Amino acid sequence: MTAPLLSVRGLTKDFQVGTVFSRRRVRAVNDVSFDLPAGLITALVGESGSGKSTIARCLARLEAPTAGQVLLNGKDVLRTERRGASRAYRRTVQMVFQDPFGSLNPVHRIEHFLTRALVLHGRSAAPEALRELLTSVGLTEDMLHSYPHELSGGQRQRVAIARALAVEPKLILADEPTSMLDVSVRVGVLNLMRRLRTDRDIAMLYITHDLGSARYLADTTMVMFAGEIVEGGDALAVMDAPAHPYTRLLLSAVPDPRRSSGYDPIERARLRDAILNPTACPYGSDGTCSRTEPVRHIVGEDQGHPHWVRCHLRAPATGIANRLLKATDDLKKAETTAA
Ligand SMILES: Nc1ncnc2c1ncn2[C@@H]1O[C@H](COP(=O)(O)OP(=O)(O)OP(=O)(O)O)[C@@H](O)[C@H]1O
């Protein structure tokens, strides 16, 4: 197994919400631990509000965790860099956001974003360097003089990726990088990410609620529910043999072309409950579940990655994974058409 580039231990993040009269605390991330190995793509999947972006923002050092450790190459960066991320950390760990338009100031040309990133990190912004950056993400040199609004959503996201690449990062935190793009251009951006992993050995944390794209892109997958990571392992193993009831619910929401409704109504009702009430485990309320906190159980191993689950009601796989296979097939077909 590849050594971890970045390790997270006991990461917890609370937010204060409400007014002065009704102040309360929301625990967005609760005691989360995982490793991001060098050169591998790790997907973090889960419904809206489960805490995925908060983890990414803590790792990008845009939020200060309430508790826990972030170890970059074994160094506890929250302890050693108390005043904020060092330039070396920012160079190693870059973030790509969901909204490629929001992350590029509309008053500047593309040349500005790339030049600034290169210069800030003490690198040459010579024309060849700019050209190389653009071509590495599948764009052409003439786009240097374009404004963000003159590019398509997919092209803007490629510019955002080029800007991240300018500092030669070792890890890219990609928070829903394709969710605002047309389906037809999503696969191109996913393929670009895969190429960066293979050609440049860049590790990625790929955050998404789209299980099909996680299965398509990632080496390993972690499933997040109500602020906790409840299942993890080889991406295909987690998707094809989900052991946690919540993973199975997420998979059940992948539309099934063989059913007119697309959803199993019972599964859909439970998923709805889980989303509407994300702080309570829906499987704990029916009396079948132990009250004690579930420990990690290893349920298998694939490609050298242990497949683990934290749930009292872990279960063997069912046929729902077939729908995900279909979604991945569709992506592969789109890839062939786009090529
Ligand atoms: N700045 C903040 N202040 C208060 N609460 C916050 C803040 N940021 C996130 N939260 C809360 O933390 C929880 C997790 O949010 P987060 O954005 O991390 O989830 P997510 O899984 O990334 O969802 P989405 O895909 O919708 O962004 C939610 O309940 C959210 O309302």
Say if residues 169 and 93 touch (Cβ distance below 8 Å). Answer: yes
**Ligand 1 centroid to 119 CA: how many Å?**
33
- The predicted-structure confidence for 151-183, as pLDDT tens digits, reads as follows 998 899 999 999 999 999 999 999 999 988 888
The pair phi, psi for residue 157, each rounded to 5°, is -65, -35
**Ligand 1 centroid to 28 CA: how many Å?**
6
Nearest Cα neighbor of 172 from 97, 232, 248, 115 is 97
Q: Is the overall model pTM greater than 0.90, yes or no? A: no
**Ligand 1 centroid to 24 CA: how many Å?**
15
Say if residues 251 and 212 touch (Cβ distance below 8 Å). Answer: no
Q: What is the mean pLDDT of residues 264-292?
A: 58
Max Cα-Cα span within the chain:
66
User: Of all helices (H) and strands (E), which one includes residue 30?
Assistant: strand 24-37
Residue 299 has pLDDT above 60, yes or no: yes
User: Does residue 126 have its Cβ closer than 6 Å to ligand 1?
Assistant: no
Is ipTM beyond 0.90?
yes
Question: Closest ligand 1 atom, CA of 46?
Answer: 21
Q: Residue 173: what residue type?
A: L
pLDDT value, residue 73: 94
Nearest Cα neighbor of 69 from 87, 86, 81 is 81
Residue 260 has pLDDT above 60, yes or no: no
Domains of the chain: which residue ranges?
A: 4-284+309-338
Separation of alpha carbons 9 and 69, rounded Å: 5
Separation of alpha carbons 140 and 125, rounded Å: 17
Separation of alpha carbons 166 and 81, rounded Å: 23
**Cα-trace Rg, the chain:** 21
Separation of alpha carbons 75 and 79, rounded Å: 9
- The predicted-structure confidence for 101-118, as pLDDT tens digits, reads as follows 777 888 999 999 999 999
CA 171 to chain centre: 12
According to CATH, the topology of domain 4-284+309-338 is Rossmann fold (3.40.50)
Task: Give the closest residue (by CA) to ligand 1 atom 24.
Answer: 48
**Three-class SS of residue 236?**
helix
